[in-house]
Amino acid sequence: MELASAFLGTIGPKIYNFLQENRNLQFKLEHDVGVLKIEVEIIAAAIRDDELRGGTQVDRVWVGQVRDFAHSIEDCIDRFTRCLADASRVQRLKMLLSRREFAAEIRKLRKRSGEISNLRNSYSTSSESSTRMGMATSVPVSIQTYTPSADLVGMGLPRDELLELIRENQGEAKQLKVVSVCGFGGLGKTRLAREVYRNEAIVGLYEPRLWVPAADKDAADVLKAIHEELGISSSTAPKSYDDVGKLSTSIRDCLDSKRFFIVIDDMGTEFWNIIKSAFPAAKGVSSRIVVTTAIQHIATACSSSDGHVYAMRPLDKQHSRQLFLKAAFLEDPAPNVRLGSEALKKCDGLPLALVTTAQFLQSRCDPTLAEWAKLCGNLGEHLETEDTLARMKHVLLHSYTSLPHDHLLKAFLLYLGIFPCGHPVRTDRLIRRWLAEEFIVGGDGGRGPLDVATDNFKKLVDRCIIQPIDISNNKQVKTWQTHGMMLEFILHKSTRENFITLLRGQACSPSKIRWLSLYHNTGNSYGDLSLVRSMTIFGKAHESVLEFSKCELLRLLDLEECDNQLEDKHLREICKLLLLRYLSLRGSITVLPKDIAKLKLLATLDVRRTEIKVLPIEVIELPCLVHLFGKFKLADVGRRMIKLQKFLSEKSKLETLEGFVADEGFAKLMDHMNNLTKVEIWCESDVDATIVGHLSKSIKGFIQRGTNENEDRSLSLNFHECSKGLLNFSLENSCYLSKLSLQGNILSLPPFVTEMDGVTELCLSSSNQLNDDILTDLIKVRSLLYLKDEWTGSK
C-alpha cells in the first residue's frame, strides 16, 4: 500500500510540470488535469487512512487497482514525452494527432479515477477486525525477539566488551554513565543486555537494579514503569502519572545517593532528554544505565555525555555455523560441510535469523543439501506463513513499519531489492539512481531532490537497516549492503506489490515489468519489456534482453556489472532511448556514437569500465548532464570552441567531471564549467607548456569559485612530470575546497594549498618521499582533519 501512495504522491506534480513545459496543451486540459490531481490526492489520503487502521483484503485489491492507475498516468505522460522528443519539423501533423490522443487519454484516466473512488465506497468494510494483509500484519508483541539462553554462541566477547565499558576503572570519575547498545533487530541487543544485567559483577555492585521494556512506549510510560519497579510509596508518588516532571522528581529523590543499574530495553523514539532528569548525576556515585535501540541517533543522544555507544556486530562465519547447526539439532561438523550454506549466506551473521531459519528447515524436511537450498530459495514467502519464522518476521516487519510515516522512504527501502544479497553498493551510485527514477519530483522547504534523497538514505543508515562497509573520513557511508534477511523481506514485499521484478535464473517473468533486476539470468523469455523503466544486469544475461529497442520508456540502464560484451549495435539502440536519465556501461567498447546527442534527458553517464578513450563532443552538449565519469579526451574541440564555451557558461548543468585527460581544448572548456563541484584530471608527461598554462588557469578558476564553505567540493590531480608550473599559483580571495588529492612528482607543497579554507581531507601520493619542507608547510593548512600520504617510489 505504501508504494501506491508514494507513486501517487509524485503523479500530481509530474502532470503539472509536464503541462508547464507543454503550454499548448494546458488550456484544453487544465480543468481535466485539475480534477484528476485532486482525485489522486484524495485516493492517496484514503490509502494512508487504510494503513493506519490495518487494511482489509478488499483494501488490498483496491490498492492494486490504484497502483496500476498511477502507473497508467505515468505511462501516458512518458509516451507523449518520448513522442515530443522524437518529433521533427516534418512530423507536425503526427504531433497534432498525438496531442489529441494524449488529451483523450487524460480524459479516460480522469473517468477511471472516479470509478476507482466509487469502487472503494461500494466494497469497503466497516469492520476493523477483517482479515489483514499478510506481510502488513503485525506479529503479536508477546513474541520474544531474543534467542534462548542455550543459544548464546558468540556472545562471550560482546559481553566482556560491554562489561568493560560499564566497569568503574581506576582513575575514572565516579558519576552516572550511560552506555547505549545499538544495532539492527535480531543481532542480540536484548540478549546481550540481559546477560550483563544478570552478571555476578553487576548483581553484587548495584542496588537497585531495574529492567524496563521501552518498545512502543513514550517517556511517560517508561517513567511510570521505573516508578512502579522502585516501589515508591503512594504517599510520595505524584497524583497524576501524566505529569512527567513530577514523575522524574519522585524517581530522582528515590535514587538519590544510590548506586543503581537500569536497563531501558528497545527504545524506539528519542525521549532521553525528557527522562534524563529522573536519574541523579551527582559525582561520587558510579551508577549505570544501559539503553538498547536499533536507531543510531537515539543511542548517540543517550550517551552524548559521559557515555559510550556499543555497536553490535554480526557473528563471524565460524560462530554463525556453530549456532545454526546447534539450533537445527545437528552436530558440528555436519556430515555435509555445505549443508545450510545458502541459509548461512542469507542469515548474514544475524543470531535470530540463524536460530529461526535453522528451526524452520529442521521442521520441514530431512537435512539434505538440495532440500534445504530449495527452501531457502524464497525465504521471504516462508516468513509470511511459517510459525517457526514468526520471531524473525516480527523484527523485520517492525523495522519496516516503524519507519517515519513517509511513503517515499519505504519506497526507497524496497528499491534496495534490486541489488543482490551481500553485494557492496556505492552510496553515490544509489542516490544517482534514485534521482534518475524520478521518485522525487521536488523537495520541500527549499530542499532539492538531491537533499531529499540524501536525507532518506541517512534515515535508513540511522535505523541500522543498511550495513555500512566502507566509511569515509567525514563519517559518510561510501559503500553498504542490506542485511540478508531484510533483503528477503524486501524482495517478497516488492514482488507482492509488483514493484521490483527479480529474475534469478528462471526462464519466465510476470507481465507489466517496470523495475527489472537480472542476476546471472540466461533464460530466453523476459515477457513484455515495453513498460520497463529501470534495468540492472548483474553477471550474464540472455542476448535477447540486450535488444534495448523493446524498452522505449527506459529511464535507467545500469550495465556496470553486466558480463555481456556490448557491441556497436547495442549502443545505437541505447541512443534511441530518449527518456534515459542514467547510463552506466561496461565492456570492451571503444567508441561512443555521436547519436548520444539524442539523449537530452541524460543526467549520469559512466564509461569508467569501458575502453572508451575519446568522447564525442556531443556528450558535453547534453543539456541535463550532471555527472560524467571516465578517463577520456574530447574529439574535435577546436572547431566548435566558442559555441561550446557559450553553452557551458549559460546552459550546462555539469557538476561531476571524473575525469578528463588534459589537452588544450579541454583546459579551455573547463574554465566555463561554472557548476562543477567534483573534478578529476590526468595530466600526461608529454603535454607542452601552453596546455599546462591553460590547465593551471582553469584549476585556479575552479578553486576560486568555491565560495560556500558548506558545499562539498573536491579536486583530484594526477600528474607525472608536468607539475612544474601547473600548481605554482596563489589565490586572490578566500575560497573553499573540502577534499584535495595530488598524485605525481611532489617536490614541494603548492602555495595555493595553504591559502585555502575548509580543506579537511588531503591526499598526497608522490614518487618521492615527502621532505621536511612539505611536512612543515602542512601545519599551515587550515581546517585539515585527515592526511593521507602514499609514497609510490621504490625503496
Residue 9 lies in a domain: yes
Residue 169 lies in a domain: yes
Secondary structure of 323-338 in HEC code, one letter for each residue: HHHHHCCCCCCCCCCC
The rounded distance, in Å, linking the Cα atoms of 178 and 305 is 8
Residue 540 lies in a domain: no
Q: Do 358 and 386 share a domain, yes or no? A: yes
Q: Do 669 and 736 share a domain, yes or no? A: yes
Q: Report the pLDDT value the prediction gives residue 170, as an integer from 0 to 100.
A: 74
Least confident span in 17-26, 383-392, 583-592 = 17-26
Residue 303, helix vs strand vs coil: coil
User: Residue 402: is its pLDDT beyond 50?
Assistant: yes
Q: Residue 169: which pLDDT band, with cuts at 50, 70 and 90?
A: confident
Q: Report the pLDDT value the prediction gives residue 12, as an integer from 0 to 100.
A: 62
Per-residue pLDDT tens over the stretch 658-696: 988 988 788 889 989 999 999 999 987 777 888 888 888
Q: Do 385 and 460 share a domain, yes or no? A: no
Residue 547 lies in a domain: no
Q: Do 235 and 324 share a domain, yes or no? A: no
Q: Report the pLDDT value the prediction gives residue 126, as an integer from 0 to 100.
A: 44
Q: Do 328 and 427 share a domain, yes or no? A: no
Domain end, chosen from 245, 279, 311, is at 311
For residue 287, give its domain range.
Answer: 155-311
Q: Where are the strands (E) in 590-719, listed by range?
A: 604-609, 614-615, 627-634, 656-661, 678-683, 714-719
Q: How wide is the angle at C-alpha 751 spanned by C-alphas 746 and 754, nearest 5°? A: 105
What are φ and ψ of residue 311, in 5° steps?
-90, 120
Per-residue pLDDT tens over the stretch 284-317: 788 999 999 999 999 999 998 778 999 999 999 9
C-alpha cell at 290: 544501559
Q: Report the pLDDT value the prediction gives residue 204, as an integer from 0 to 100.
A: 85
The rounded distance, in Å, linking the Cα atoms of 504 and 63 is 28
The rounded distance, in Å, linking the Cα atoms of 191 and 249 is 31
Q: Report the pLDDT value the prediction gives residue 684, as an integer from 0 to 100.
A: 78
Domain end, chosen from 261, 279, 311, is at 311
Q: How far is CA 642 from CA 632, 645, 648, 652, in A?
A: 21, 5, 10, 14
Q: Residue 4: which pLDDT band, with cuts at 50, 70 and 90?
A: low
Q: Do 71 and 185 share a domain, yes or no? A: no
CB-CB contact of 67 with 4 (8 Å): yes
Residue 172 lies in a domain: yes
Residue 552 lies in a domain: no
Q: Do 700 and 757 share a domain, yes or no? A: yes
Those residues whose C-beta lies under 8 Å from the C-beta of residue 401, and which sit 6 or more positions away, are 138
Q: Report the pLDDT value the prediction gives residue 135, as an integer from 0 to 100.
A: 44
CATH number, domain containing residue 164: 3.40.50.300
Q: How far is CA 370 from CA 195, 357, 422, 507, in A?
A: 37, 16, 22, 20
Q: Report the pLDDT value the prediction gives residue 523, as an integer from 0 to 100.
A: 67
Per-residue pLDDT tens over the stretch 606-647: 999 999 999 999 999 999 999 999 999 988 888 889 999 999
Burial class (CB in 10 A: 0-12, 13-18, 19+), 426: middle
Those residues whose C-beta lies under 8 Å from the C-beta of residue 240, and which sit 6 or more positions away, are 246
Q: Report the pLDDT value the prediction gives residue 133, as an integer from 0 to 100.
A: 37
Q: How far is CA 25 from CA 31, 74, 83, 90, 325, in A?
A: 11, 17, 14, 20, 66
Per-residue pLDDT tens over the stretch 521-553: 776 666 788 899 999 999 988 888 888 988 999
User: Residue 215: is its pLDDT beyond 60?
Assistant: yes
C-alpha cell at 270: 528519542
The rounded distance, in Å, linking the Cα atoms of 77 and 56 is 32
Helix H or strand E encompassing 179:
strand 177-182
CB atoms closer than 10 angstroms to residue 27 = 9
Number of domains in the chain: 5
Q: Report the pLDDT value the prediction gives residue 139, as an integer from 0 to 100.
A: 40
Beta strands 556-562; 582-586: pairing state: parallel
C-alpha cell at 120: 472503494
User: Residue 141: is its pLDDT beyond 60?
Assistant: no
Q: Do 305 and 321 share a domain, yes or no? A: no
Q: Report the pLDDT value the prediction gives residue 433, as an integer from 0 to 100.
A: 96
Q: Report the pLDDT value the prediction gives residue 388, as an integer from 0 to 100.
A: 92
Least confident span in 97-106, 305-314, 593-602 = 97-106
Residue 526 lies in a domain: no
User: Residue 129: is its pLDDT beyond 70?
Assistant: no
DSSP state letters, 130-169: S---GGGSPPPTTS--S--GGG-TT-HHHHHHHHHHHS--
When the pLDDT of each residue in the chain is averaged and rounded to a whole number, the result is: 83
- Output b/e per residue, 699-727; b: 16+ Cβ within 10 A: bbebbbbbeeeeeebbbbbbbeebbeebb
Q: Check residues 265 and 499 and name the one with the higher pLDDT.
A: 265
Mean pLDDT within 114-138 = 55
User: Residue 13: is its pLDDT beyond 90?
Assistant: no
Q: Check residues 648 and 127 and name the one with the higher pLDDT.
A: 648
Q: Do 344 and 271 share a domain, yes or no? A: no
Q: Do 442 and 370 share a domain, yes or no? A: no
Q: How far is CA 227 from CA 180, 217, 259, 302, in A?
A: 22, 15, 16, 20
Per-residue pLDDT tens over the stretch 249-292: 999 999 998 999 999 999 999 999 999 999 998 777 889 999 99
Beta strands 477-482; 425-426: pairing state: antiparallel
User: Residue 140: is its pLDDT beyond 80?
Assistant: no
Q: Do 163 and 289 share a domain, yes or no? A: yes
Mean pLDDT within 19-23 = 63
* pTM reported for the whole predicted model: 0.88
Residue 583 lies in a domain: no
CB-CB contact of 501 with 518 (8 Å): no
Mean pLDDT within 453-481 = 91
Mean pLDDT within 223-252 = 81
The rounded distance, in Å, linking the Cα atoms of 772 and 792 is 18
Q: Which of 317, 305, 354, 1 is nearest to 148 (CA)?
A: 354
Q: Which of 483, 500, 482 is nearest to 491 (CA)?
A: 500
Q: Residue 84: which pLDDT band, with cuts at 50, 70 and 90?
A: confident
Q: Which of 34, 32, 40, 292 is nearest to 162 (CA)?
A: 292
Q: Check residues 641 and 789 and name the one with the higher pLDDT.
A: 641
Domain end, chosen from 334, 367, 395, is at 395
C-alpha cell at 522: 540466461
C-alpha cell at 9: 504522491
Those residues whose C-beta lies under 8 Å from the C-beta of residue 551, and which sit 6 or more positions away, are 529, 530, 532, 535, 577
User: Residue 506: is its pLDDT beyond 70?
Assistant: no
Residue 471, helix vs strand vs coil: strand
CB-CB contact of 488 with 382 (8 Å): no
Q: Residue 235: which pLDDT band, with cuts at 50, 70 and 90?
A: low
- % of the chain beyond a pLDDT of 70: 82
Q: Do 641 and 748 share a domain, yes or no? A: yes
Helix H or strand E encompassing 470:
strand 466-471
Least confident span in 157-171, 201-215, 439-453 = 439-453
Least confident span in 59-63, 329-333, 408-412, 704-708 = 59-63
